[in-house]
Amino acid sequence: MRRLYVICALVALSAVRMMAEVDPNFYIYICFGQSNMEGNAQPESIDKTGIDNRFRLLATCNFSNPSRTKGNWYKATPPLVSPNGGLGPTDWFGRMMCESLPDSIRIGVIPVAMGGSPIQMFDKDLYQQQLQAHPGDWWAILSKNHYGGNPYGRIIEMAKKAQTVGVIKGILLHQGCSNCGDPNWPGMVKKIYNDMLTDLNLGADSVPLFVGEVEYAGAGTNAESGGCASHNTQVARIPSVIPTGHVVSAKDCPGNNADPWHFSAYGYRKLGARYAGEALYTLEQHLPYFSFHNYMFTLNKHCTFDDASRTLTAKTTGVGSAYWEYPHLADWSAFKYLVIKLKEPADPAAEVWIYKKNSIGCREIFNDRETIVIDIHHAKYSATELDPSLISKMLFRCPKDTKIVFDDIFLSNDEQYDPALTAIRGVVSDDNDFRAPLYSLDGRLAEPAKLKAGVYINNGKKILVK
């Protein structure tokens, strides 16, 4: 009997230890699909550098280059999915999640994908039938080589392993070209999603599904680009079929100009960031609305943006404009000020417009300032007041043949950014700097030799005395 008690105690202790090792701040996402999820672009230098160590990959197959072993965690450097893959949306999904969330949060991904794979290969009741019917197809060979012929089984195996160290927060899917336009596709996706939830003991409310659109027609220079764009009609049905399903837009995500289906590296960055935006929305977080990655901006034809130097340059052909647009209205109401800092003064006519829903709520001209501050609770455009809880877009306008060089943009409650103070032209501590007359803000004549710290009017300008 005593031995039984000891055994029970050890089992209980082991269970407690296992529970204690689960990090609630390790957010894990399952990522599956076909070639776009597998990653079809050659990674560029920007894709290989600056990766936060908080972004982790659970290898779902063995790699030789880089050397990885199935079931182990690694820093998430491309390729993430398999040795056959390249850069895909998962790469910048994880990077943007890390950039957006507190440093205490880690992001993990469990990727399983095969180029050309039909959605049925992820159905645990249909995959064997698919393999038997198409044994020589590329996706069937990949599934055998990397996932033992059972991609769904590999997802569940790896996800259960991940659940011992973290918490599954969502599922990402990019697939459709092999089932292009099939009206049964949303229902098939629903079955796979529900099977995953059941097999992993997850709830739909806490584990949403994010489904990416396929390449739009005209996304590449080749005449056949967006060859499966019609499938986006089926993708659009996902939220009506799956209440916790979210559509990730591929609009303006460039194709690779080589085939009708795949995105360029730039397109994958943009698409991955949009997956992150949807995931952050479900976490009641927000994408960093002031991220200076060039794929986060939408530019008109009259300008370019270099993210290394954070420079927006207008061409000689016209006024350049670039904007951040938020798929879900941004709520800035917890803050008082929007602060725009420049590395150097821009053209005095440069300006920023802030939109509430579809109307302009604020317009601010730079006027040679290096720090532009907008009191977002009192800003207005003409008779329209800005509602900081309904921000839809922030747009910068740059006169032709000029540039705006950004330093930083952020929201703040710090009173040092009160617009009344940001208009101050200087900071002085020696009364020899003054030229009479000198007044306090309430209009009283002040004596330079007896000044206390504060704000004063000197020679028609505000000054701050420390």
**Which one of 225, 262, 302, 387 is the catalytic residue?**
262
Helix (H, G, I), strand (E, B) or coil at 90: helix
Residue 210 · residue 93 · CB < 8 Å: no
Number of continuous H segments (helices) and E segments (strands) in the chain: 12, 23
Residue 63 · residue 94 · CB < 8 Å: no
Measured CA to CA, the distance from residue 66 to residue 78 in angstroms comes to 9
CB burial of residue 118 (10 Å; 0-12, 13-18, 19+): buried
User: Which among 295, 298, 277 is positioned nearest to 395, based on CA atoms?
Assistant: 298
Is 259 among the residues known to form the active site? yes
Sorted by sequence, the CB contacts under 8 Å of residue 27 that are 6+ apart come out as 97, 101, 105, 106, 107, 108, 166, 167, 169
Strands 167-174 and 26-33 come out as parallel
Q: Cis before residue 66, ω within 30 degrees of 0?
A: yes
Measured CA to CA, the distance from residue 110 to residue 26 in angstroms comes to 13
User: Which among 209, 199, 97 is positioned nearest to 155, based on CA atoms?
Assistant: 199
**Which one of 52, 182, 195, 259 is the catalytic residue?**
259
Residue 250 · residue 215 · CB < 8 Å: yes
116, amino acid identity:
G
Is 262 among the residues known to form the active site? yes
Task: Compute φ and ψ for 67, nearest 5 degrees.
Answer: -75, 115
Task: Compute φ and ψ for 315, nearest 5 degrees.
Answer: -80, 175
**Which one of 35, 100, 117, 392 is the catalytic residue?**
35
- Residues marked as catalytic: 35, 259, 262
